[in-house]
A and B are shown apart, each in its own frame.
Chain A
Amino acid sequence: MASIAFKRVSKAFDKHEVIKDLDLTIEDGKFTVLVGPSGCGKTTLLRMIAGLDPQTSGSVLIGGKDVSRIAPGKRGVAMVFQNYAIYPTMSVRENIEFGLVNNKVRKAEREELVEGISKAVGLYEYLERKPSTLSGGQRQRVALARAMVKKPSVFLMDEPLSNLDAKLRVQMRIELIELHKKLGATFVYVTHDQVEAMSMADTIVLMNKGVIQQEAPPDEMYRRPSNRFTAQFIGTPPMNVGELGESGSLFGFRPESAVLSEAQGDEPFSVRGVIATREMLGSETIYQVRSGSGNYMVKCSEDLFAAGQEVYVGVPAAKLHFFGEDERRIDEKESSYGKCMEALRGRSHG
């Protein structure tokens, strides 16, 4: 098994620098999800681990060893591509077997491995078929089996589920989590979908414009976002963020942290507004409240209000987040935290 480390890694395409001086350690045996908006450099990072598009400067270490000069096929990594990249002229068996043949695994052992893996992913009956006769989900499994059969210490996956329909995607998510538990290998999974990241990851690495914004387990990333970008990228609807006055600091709260009521409470954040829209989603309802200081999304488990109704939006102190002028999180222990809270309370209660 192997951990992965980036040491001051930069990557440029021609003159265009996509990643600059990046440091990152991906823990051995963990399910790490790289998430971020489209074009932020996730695929680039993954391809540097695989060695398909090596870094311009800096070094990449797998299992503590600098792999900069090691060919992709000899790094002990396997990759599942977004478009599966199955060899179309080979049968399912030949697809799965190709890496083993190249690694000079004996025929008897090869057959045993292919048989075992194909049974595990439900492809055993399809071994002699050509990929063109398979469904999207089955092709996905061929790609997975092809990666698994080599017993790599690192699994790389680039948006592997994005070509599947919603139902299959949820099912595959669970299967991948189970697969990770079973194999115990290091998984690096790329997605632009924060829900996928939250539901699958041991550790989320959130990127924006080639820079790592935060590296944390899902619950911490959700509860203690380290900056405004993280706060608003993770969670739907995104965190409400507003300005705190002249200081340039920001406050924020999650839609489900707010309470709606008809009378003003004594929470530090409490504003009057009108319900502009109401989205009833069954188990919960999402209101958009329009107030003098801005629009706020509020998620309630009960459906008590109607559009056009006047309400108070209140948020308790423990659920408030503050960000400095530089959009970085202000921690409870910092001295400016109290000041921010005072400013907010002053604004709400006059």
Chain B
Amino acid sequence: MTKAWRYTGLTLGYLLKTAILIVFVFPFLWMLSTSLQTYRETLSYPPTLVPAMPQWINFAEAMSAGPFLTYFKNSAIVTLSIIAIQLLVMIPAAYAFAKYKFPGKNILFSLVLLAFMIPGQVTFIPVYLMMADWGIAKTLLPQIIPFMSNAFGIFLLRQYFMQIPEEIVEAARLDNAGEFKIMRKIMVPMSMPALATIALFSFVSHWNDYFWPLIMTDAEAIRPLTLGIAMLRETEGISNWHIIMAGNVVLVIPILLVYLFCSKQIVKAFVYSGIK
């Protein structure tokens, strides 16, 4: 390839990358910009991207439209509990599937995969009825219990565990380490990239979950942030985009923070496990 061609290729590559970046980043920037505009600015034509005077008051207004502290707390408790319980279930399950031989293992693993393939929409009515039956409808539990195990996570982690050489586990057994110690001191540290990825996916999907809490909650005290933000449309009026967007920014910020934290962990974990 000649020099000219190579530069053309490079330039094209950069242009494409920039285009893709814009497609992904623009809606986010638009949300951020709208959340800082006045009502008037949101309606102006041509639309403005940089607000003339950032309207921080929009956030205060959004947050005072309902018990947002409660919503935020509910979201945090539900999401963090789900992730914690999922990890507690997932790690031993994946370890058993990856490193043990036991009768019925293949059937059990197929069941896990099956669970992973059934969409939640199929099971939500029976699950709802069951939770109502147990008399826990007024607590946060119905938002947590159905998600205690993460079939996709078990699958992913099992694949990862299977790559860890058998001898390392055996060396640990000869070092008189119990199975839980092996998980904690060997398997988990060696699987940080997989665990961080799974936790991140889980966090995003449960923090943003709208459908399930919509069905499961009928009181303000147990509603998560997503429902609170969605209700801004009713309390603030459908055209008050600057307030609604301020609410959305509040919803998205924890995801960004978690993402930043996780991506750092992933890089770190890769460096630590840098052994061939």
Q: A58 within 8 Å of B by Cβ?
A: no
Across the interface, which residues of A come within 8 angstroms of B170, CB to CB?
A: 50, 52, 72, 79, 81, 85
Of A73, A86, A130, A131, the residue contacting B176 (CB under 8 A) is A73
Contact A98 B275 (CB under 8 A): no
**Cβ-closest chain A residue relative to B176:** A73
Q: A89 within 8 Å of B by Cβ?
A: yes
> In the docked arrangement, what's the CA distance between A98 and B169, Å?
13
Across the interface, which residues of A come within 8 angstroms of B165, CB to CB?
A: 83, 85
Across the interface, which residues of A come within 8 angstroms of B174, CB to CB?
A: 50, 52, 72-73, 77-79, 99
Of B171, B178, B274, the residue contacting A87 (CB under 8 A) is B171
Of A73, A78, A131, the residue contacting B275 (CB under 8 A) is A131
19 example contacts (A-B, Cβ-Cβ < 8 A) are as follows A52-B170, A72-B173, A73-B173, A73-B174, A73-B175, A74-B176, A81-B171, A85-B165, A87-B168, A87-B171, A87-B172, A88-B275, A89-B186, A89-B190, A89-B272, A99-B174, A102-B175, A103-B176, A132-B274
Contact B189 A89 (CB under 8 A): yes
Q: B167 within 8 Å of A by Cβ?
A: yes
Across the interface, which residues of A come within 8 angstroms of B172, CB to CB?
A: 87, 98
CB of B141, distance to nearest CB on chain A (Å):
36
Q: A71 within 8 Å of B by Cβ?
A: yes
Interface residues of A in 57-86 (CB under 8 A from B): 71-74, 77-79, 81-83, 85-86
> In the docked arrangement, what's the CA distance between A102 and B177, Å?
6
Across the interface, which residues of A come within 8 angstroms of B272, CB to CB?
A: 88-89, 130
Across the interface, which residues of B come within 8 angstroms of A83, CB to CB?
A: 165, 167
Q: B264 within 8 Å of A by Cβ?
A: no
Residues of chain A having any CB pair with chain B under 8 Å: 50, 52, 71-74, 77-79, 81-83, 85-90, 98-99, 102-103, 130-132, 146, 150
Contact B167 A81 (CB under 8 A): yes
CB of A92, distance to nearest CB on chain B (Å):
13
The 8 tightest CB contacts between A and B, nearest first, are A73-B176, A85-B167, A99-B175, A89-B189, A88-B275, A85-B171, A132-B275, A102-B176
**Cβ-closest chain B residue relative to A147:** B174
Q: Which of B167, B168, B174, B181 counts the most A-chain CB atoms under 10 A from its CB?
A: B174
Across the interface, which residues of B come within 8 angstroms of A90, CB to CB?
A: 185, 189
CB of B97, distance to nearest CB on chain A (Å):
20
The secondary-structure label for the interface of chain B is helix
CB of B100, distance to nearest CB on chain A (Å):
13
Known pairs A90-B189, A98-B175, A146-B171; list 6 more (Cβ under 8 Å).
Answer: A73-B175, A79-B170, A86-B171, A87-B172, A131-B275, A132-B274
Contact A98 B177 (CB under 8 A): yes
> In the docked arrangement, what's the CA distance between A132 and B189, Å?
15
Contact A79 B176 (CB under 8 A): no
Q: B263 within 8 Å of A by Cβ?
A: no
Q: B18 within 8 Å of A by Cβ?
A: no
Across the interface, which residues of B come within 8 angstroms of A132, CB to CB?
A: 274-275
Interface string of B180-196 (1 = CB under 8 A from A): 01000110011000000
Interface string of B55-93 (1 = CB under 8 A from A): 000000000000000000000000000000000000000
Across the interface, which residues of B come within 8 angstroms of A146, CB to CB?
A: 171, 175
CB of B135, distance to nearest CB on chain A (Å):
45
> In the docked arrangement, what's the CA distance between A87 and B175, Å?
11
> In the docked arrangement, what's the CA distance between A139 and B168, Å?
14
Across the interface, which residues of A come within 8 angstroms of B178, CB to CB?
A: 102
Across the interface, which residues of B come within 8 angstroms of A98, CB to CB?
A: 172, 175, 177, 185
> In the docked arrangement, what's the CA distance between A72 and B170, Å?
9
CB of B272, distance to nearest CB on chain A (Å):
5
Across the interface, which residues of A come within 8 angstroms of B175, CB to CB?
A: 73, 98-99, 102, 146, 150
Across the interface, which residues of A come within 8 angstroms of B176, CB to CB?
A: 71, 73-74, 99, 102-103
Contact B275 A85 (CB under 8 A): no
Contact A79 B274 (CB under 8 A): no
CB of B254, distance to nearest CB on chain A (Å):
29
Across the interface, which residues of A come within 8 angstroms of B239, CB to CB?
A: none
Across the interface, which residues of A come within 8 angstroms of B139, CB to CB?
A: none
> In the docked arrangement, what's the CA distance between A64 and B272, Å?
43
**Cβ-closest chain B residue relative to A85:** B167
Across the interface, which residues of A come within 8 angstroms of B106, CB to CB?
A: none
CB of B275, distance to nearest CB on chain A (Å):
4
Across the interface, which residues of B come within 8 angstroms of A71, CB to CB?
A: 173, 176
